[in-house]
Amino acid sequence: MSETTTVTGVGSPSFKNVIDIDGSINLDGENKFTINADRGESVVLNIRGDLRLSGFAAIELTGGVKVDNVLINVLGDVSLFGDSSVFGTILAVNNGSNTTINGGRVAGTLIARDISLANASVDGVYFVPEPFTILGTATALGFGVLFKKEYSQKNKKEKTKV
């Protein structure tokens, strides 16, 4: 038996809908979680637990809201298996969270830290590096600029001596 849960957005086209779920979303079989909002509206779905879909389960959109206007912020793990699908941008960058998509589909963008894909369909994938990787890269670039500046000043002084 399949079950559909629909969340309807309200307000003017510039209204921002924020839905907080203090827990996880676990759907299997043909169960659906439907976000209903008008064209031009933005929706943020905050999931404080895991997002797990399997079978033909889906997070779907109705009412005209576009995939690019839906952000699904997941603090826990993301798991999509079988023919499950999510419409919207999945943001899963919390430290320690894992994202596994095996046969699932993301119609939108996936932004995550630790991603495992197998037989997956994702419109856009962005890996987020560890903070120390970003810090190390910025430090290396800073030293490179500093040494280049010192080197060019040294060469300039040597040329003026000749």
State the average pLDDT over residues 40-49: 90
pLDDT above 70 covers what percent of the chain? 66
Residue matched to tokens 């999509």: 80
Q: Are residues 71 and 102 in the same domain?
A: yes
Q: Are residues 42 and 85 in the same domain?
A: yes
* 54 pLDDT more than 60: yes
Q: Are residues 156 and 122 in the same domain?
A: no
* 27 pLDDT more than 70: yes
Q: Are residues 18 and 41 in the same domain?
A: yes
Q: Are residues 45 and 18 in the same domain?
A: yes
Q: Are residues 55 and 32 in the same domain?
A: yes
State the average pLDDT over residues 90-98: 88
pTM: 0.70
User: Please, what is the average pLDDT of the chain?
Assistant: 80
Cα distances from 160 to residues 149, 150, 152, 155, 157, in angstroms, run 17, 16, 12, 9, 5
Q: How many CA atoms lie within 13 A of 155 on its CB side?
A: 6
Total of domains in the chain? 2
SS3 state at 149: helix
What pLDDT does residue 141 have? Answer: 66
Q: Are residues 86 and 159 in the same domain?
A: no
Answer with the residue of higher pLDDT: 156 or 84. Answer: 84
What pLDDT does residue 134 have? Answer: 55
Residue matched to tokens 């997070």: 59
Residue 135 is part of which domain span? Answer: 130-162
What pLDDT does residue 4 have? Answer: 59
Separation of alpha carbons 47 and 75, rounded Å: 6
* 71 pLDDT more than 80: yes
Residue matched to tokens 């952000």: 71
Q: Are residues 118 and 153 in the same domain?
A: no
34 in Cβ contact with 5 (< 8 Å): yes
Q: Are residues 17 and 71 in the same domain?
A: yes
pLDDT tens digits, one per residue of 108-147: 988 888 888 888 888 765 555 555 555 566 666 666 666 6
SS3 state at 49: coil
Q: Are residues 108 and 118 in the same domain?
A: yes
